[in-house]
Structure 1
Amino acid sequence: MSERVLIPRNRGFLFLDSHPAGCERLVTDMWQACPGSADMPEGDGPVALIIGSSAGYGLAATLAGLKRAGIRGIMVSFEKAPTERRTGTAGWYRTAATADIARAAGRDLVFLNGDAFSDTMKNQVADLIEQRFGGRLDYLIYSVAAPRRTDPATGTTYASVLKPIGRANRTKTLVFDGEGVPEVREVETGPAEGDDVEQTVAVMGGTDWERWIDQLVGRGLLADGFATAALSYIGSPLTAAIYRQGTIGTAKAHLEATARSLNERLGRTVGGRAVTSVNGAAVTQSSTAIPGIALYTGLLRGVLGEDLVPPVHQLAALWDQLTGAAPSDLDDEGRIRLDTWELTDDVQAAVAERWEAATTDSIADLADLAWFRSEVQRLYGFSVPGIDYAAAVATDIPWPDHTA
């Protein structure tokens, strides 16, 4: 078994390696932090499919689903295995740790690694539901963030972009130099051109979510009362030009329109429902790529401190609403809102005041930079309390075996 001493090496917010022991401890900490009893509900538990289960809100959905609803079923993600030169991706190690938790809890979770956009993966999942899980699916959570998607029907590959619509956007953003010194810069992002909007919608909109439902309906695999949720984000007016009013926001609007269409269809056919779940801000591998989001999240933490709600707490609330353990908290457009703690007038006013005052000289007094930097490192298994980073660690952890 290959063992190495791993140190964090990064280019901006992107790290070249991940730490297996740190990733395992992070998942264990999330599991322990999730509200609820460690004892699984009695019985087999509902069958769930979580698409995008290895990171961010998808990982939180998996752990919260285990603890709050006692789910079994299939988890899909797309991760890279360890090689002689590189560790596996952080999601590879997080998945192995999640499988250990599920096994200890006596829950049958199958972890599949591959392209969720492909018909090959959709067929494999449908076969497993049919052959291993009684032919009926109770829940589907869709949590996919990807830079590109190949449409299996046409073979066309689409690429998403992070751009404003109509005109260029200039915003503050937070960066760290090679020594970890923070700097507040202004960056300008040019407007969407050509088919940028259409391409982004094709990747990040509701098309693939609907294809999953089509596949499962076509195979007769949806249980009566089936429920599905796609995870989304709206965010602050401070980041709206690049996010909610930009290309990604247009894709999210398409996702929400898809939810309304699917909700009508599922209600008619299986007495089911479809919703989007609007989550609050968090440090994720996807969010750190968006201009301004790092600065905003650091300032938000500076305002809220420990009152910033972590993803696993938010997803515990989502599972309670999906299973009927708690009433659904819907807005006027039928979306489940898990972000209300972030978007109150007083919180947003305080963040906006700090945003206006944020400079390289003042940022350390306005944002929780130590927390933010640690959160970024923890995405890759570094800066996790209790881990001896001077010790060699095994890196060739196997993918969970689902054939047993």
Structure 2
Amino acid sequence: MQLAEKITGNVARSVNPHGLEQMMSQQIATVRSRGTYAGAKCALILGGSASYGLGSRLTAAFGQGATTISVGYARPPQADFLGAAGWWNQVYFKRAAEKAGLVAQNFNANAFLSSTKQLVIDYVRQELTEPIDLLVYSIAAPKRVNPNNADETWRSVIKPIGHSVTDFSLNLEQERLVEQTVAPASAAEIAATTHVMGGEDWELWVHTLRDAGVLAPNCKTILFSYEGPTATAAIYHDGTLGRAKRAAEASARRLQQLLAPTGGEALISVNRSAVTKASAVIPGFSRYVMALLQAEQASGTHETTVAHQDRLFREMVYGDQRQMDDEGRLRPDALELSTTMQAAVAQILPELTPARFTTAMPGYQAYRQAFRQLSGFAVPGVPAEFDWDELSDNYD
């Protein structure tokens, strides 16, 4: 059967499992090419099916040799649906890890639920001999049920605070830039976004695992944040998502006080801009990333998500080359935000307007390919065909 790629607006509606399998092999090869390093023995990755969570799991397993547990929900295959990309990423990761003699466990579940936390606790107690000594929090979700009131659901929004913002965004379906105005968030929306995207659930995970006795005394835990340049500040850093990240940083300080006495550590890493399914819908963000990718292509300095995460853990989390800011946050994004790179980006941005935009622009080509590869398309040498019976052999 033929695989048909479908993008609606900026949302991918289809998947090529063969392409995802090839992308997984390439990412594993990136980590392995850099050799092994001392790190975790048992890593729990919350949000390990894609992007920075998947990159963290890859370097933990194939760089550190760790047992890895991943929690995150992605729709599995059904009779008329091939499944979400994240589901296949989990399947192909587990297969590759076990082939390499590593332990890998996937929980396709809602990370916010207390029942999911108990699943992890039971698994560590019953199946493993080592406690969790690395906890990565990389959850990007649209909503979260209040753990103290099941009738209340918080929904996150991507909005500015205090004023409207107008910017150009990429419409991948129509392959054109469109002007978009986003109204400011209400106080309720700001609070809800903080509940979903802040550090509340991160703290719950750490406390729950620690109280259950499955967290190593010297456990490191890390949450990923984002600062970005002036070009994205109004909608991100100064908006609802930025407010949530400030709350997460406060959570890190509280967790540091909890873990430090036994040799543990709570970290925030400010990561580079990346093409992800979640970031594709942030107004103005795709325009900036296209300019960044074009500037990085010209200078030969582009860093993939897995390479970024491998450098973060290899050099900063477990290495002696930490780059930290005045707030004590790790800054692997320093390469992107350097004066030289931002000057190059600033020269390209004026070209990225609806009137001047063309699909031949190198930044657009790089962005579109990266976005398509998140679903397994545009992977060189991978056919757009599948055999349902053959794919079903991959099911756990």
TM-score normalised by structure 1 residue count: 0.92
Q: Which digits, 9 at most, give the CA deviation of each residue in 1:319-356, with x for residues without a partner?
A: 22466333322211111111011101121122123223
1:371 equivalent in structure 2: 366
Query: How far 1:297 sits from its partner (Å)?
Result: 0.8
Kept after mapping to 2: 8 A contact 1:175/1:184: yes
Among 224, 230, 253, which residue is 2:223 paired with?
Answer: 230
1:185 equivalent in structure 2: 178
Query: How far 1:360 sits from its partner (Å)?
Result: 3.2
Q: Tell me which of the two structures has the higher relative contact order, counting C-alpha pairs closer than 8 angstroms and 6 or more residues apart.
A: 1
User: Could you tell me which amino acid in structure 2 is paired with residue 17 of structure 1?
Assistant: S
Query: How far 1:154 sits from its partner (Å)?
Result: 2.0
Worse-matched range after superposition: 389-398 or 285-294? 389-398
Q: How does 1:210-221 map to 2 (within 5 A)?
A: 210-221=203-214
Worse-matched range after superposition: 126-135 or 329-338? 126-135
Compared with structure 1, are the counterparts of its residues 243 and 37 closer, same or farther at alpha carbon in structure 2 (3 Å cutoff)? closer
For structure 2, the 5+ residue unaligned runs are none
CA RMSD of aligned residues (A): 2.0
Matched, 1:167 2:160: no
Inter-partner Cα distance in structure 1 for 2:69 and 2:257: 25
Inter-partner Cα distance in structure 2 for 1:124 and 1:163: 35
1:157 equivalent in structure 2: 153
Q: Which digits, 9 at most, give the CA deviation of each residue in 1:345-394, with x for residues without a partner?
A: 12112212322332234334755221111111111111111101156564
Kept after mapping to 1: 8 A contact 2:40/2:133: no
Which secondary structure state, in structure 2, belongs to the residue aligned with residue 186 of structure 1? strand
Worse-matched range after superposition: 321-330 or 340-349? 321-330
Kept after mapping to 2: 8 A contact 1:35/1:313: no
Inter-partner Cα distance in structure 1 for 2:57 and 2:334: 22
Compared with structure 1, are the counterparts of its residues 220 and 360 closer, same or farther at alpha carbon in structure 2 (3 Å cutoff)? same
Worse-matched range after superposition: 26-35 or 289-298? 26-35
Among 14, 18, 22, which residue is 1:21 paired with?
Answer: 18
Compared with structure 1, are the counterparts of its residues 41 and 301 closer, same or farther at alpha carbon in structure 2 (3 Å cutoff)? closer
Among 281, 284, 287, which residue is 2:276 paired with?
Answer: 284
User: Could you tell me which amino acid in structure 2 is paired with residue 111 of structure 1?
Assistant: N
Among 328, 339, 353, which residue is 1:334 paired with?
Answer: 328
User: Could you tell me which amino acid in structure 2 is paired with residue 22 of structure 1?
Assistant: G
1:353 equivalent in structure 2: 347
Which secondary structure state, in structure 2, belongs to the residue aligned with residue 70 of structure 1? coil
Compared with structure 1, are the counterparts of its residues 129 and 169 closer, same or farther at alpha carbon in structure 2 (3 Å cutoff)? same
Matched, 1:244 2:241: no
Query: How far 1:67 sits from its partner (Å)?
Result: 1.8
User: Could you tell me which amino acid in structure 2 is paired with residue 112 of structure 1?
Assistant: F
Query: How far 1:223 sits from its partner (Å)?
Result: 1.4
Inter-partner Cα distance in structure 2 for 1:85 and 1:324: 44
User: Could you tell me which amino acid in structure 1 is paired with residue 392 of structure 2?
Assistant: D
1:139 equivalent in structure 2: 134
For structure 1, the 5+ residue unaligned runs are none
Inter-partner Cα distance in structure 2 for 1:177 and 1:122: 38
Inter-partner Cα distance in structure 2 for 1:62 and 1:138: 13
Inter-partner Cα distance in structure 1 for 2:386 and 2:121: 43
Which secondary structure state, in structure 1, belongs to the residue aligned with residue 43 of structure 2? strand
Q: How does 1:1-400 map to 2 (within 5 A)?
A: 4-34=1-31, 36=33, 46-134=41-129, 136-155=131-150, 156-178=152-174, 182-268=175-261, 270-305=262-297, 306-321=300-315, 324-364=318-358, 367-390=362-385, 392=387, 394-396=390-392, 398-400=394-396
Which secondary structure state, in structure 2, belongs to the residue aligned with residue 195 of structure 1? helix
Which secondary structure state, in structure 1, belongs to the residue aligned with residue 69 of structure 2? strand
In the alignment of these two chains, the number of paired residues is 391
Percent identity between the two aligned chains: 32
User: Could you tell me which amino acid in structure 2 is paired with residue 126 of structure 1?
Assistant: I
Kept after mapping to 2: 8 A contact 1:183/1:359: no
Compared with structure 1, are the counterparts of its residues 36 and 14 closer, same or farther at alpha carbon in structure 2 (3 Å cutoff)? same
Kept after mapping to 1: 8 A contact 2:136/2:221: yes
TM-score normalised by structure 2 residue count: 0.93
Which secondary structure state, in structure 2, belongs to the residue aligned with residue 34 of structure 1? helix
Kept after mapping to 1: 8 A contact 2:20/2:88: yes
